[in-house]
Amino acid sequence: KGDSGLSEVTLLKKQVSVLQGQLTALQASLSKYQKVAAFPSGRIVGNKAFVTSGYEGNFDDLKQRCLQAGGQLASPRNAAENAAIQQIVILHNKPVFLGINDIQTEGRFTYLNGDAIVYSNWQQGEPNNDKGRENCVEIFVNGKWNDRSCGEKRLILCEF
């Protein structure tokens, strides 16, 4: 045993060294694409990137387009994510539809996977289900939420 030229330890050291190089290259690549995602109006919060294409459409249209792109409609789960989304709304001066609705059960707002929301930032007096027709959620320039008809057209904002 141990007569085959390179010992197992030597082989492992070589493999770790290769992995270290690959990790360094990956870190540089990630850093570059984080800048790409943030420019000119995207935002990165933790592991999430919020990106708009500038397209405007109704809720179903926007939901489908985010899915098609491999993401989903922006679904803020805390104040930091909500603030990042608000910054994009401010830049475009247009409210966006969130990936939140009460289509299934009136008054029970859920994410697109059906889970009940864990964070909210309703405008005072909202959600009011105005005229009994508001099952989607828009976010205003002030960062506050309003339930709104899903048929309205809003700016697309996806998270990846």
Helices and strands (H and E) in the chain: how many: 3, 10
* Residue 147 binding Ca ion, by CB under 5 A: yes
| Contacts with ligand GMH, residue ranges (CB under 6 A) | 125-126, 128, 130, 134, 146, 148
Nearer to ligand GMH, 126 or 159 (CB): 126
Q: Which does 102 bind (CB under 5 to 8 A by kind): ligand GMH, Ca ion, none?
A: none
Q: How far apart are CA 115 and CA 111, in angstroms?
A: 6
Minimum distance, C-beta of residue 145 to Ca ion, in the bound complex (Å): 9
Report whether 92 contacts 41 (CB < 8 A).
yes
Compute, in degrees rounded to 10, the torsion defined by CA atoms 27, 31, 36, 42. Answer: 120
* Residue 146 binding Ca ion, by CB under 5 A: yes
Minimum distance, C-beta of residue 141 to ligand GMH, in the bound complex (Å): 14
Amino acid at 99: G
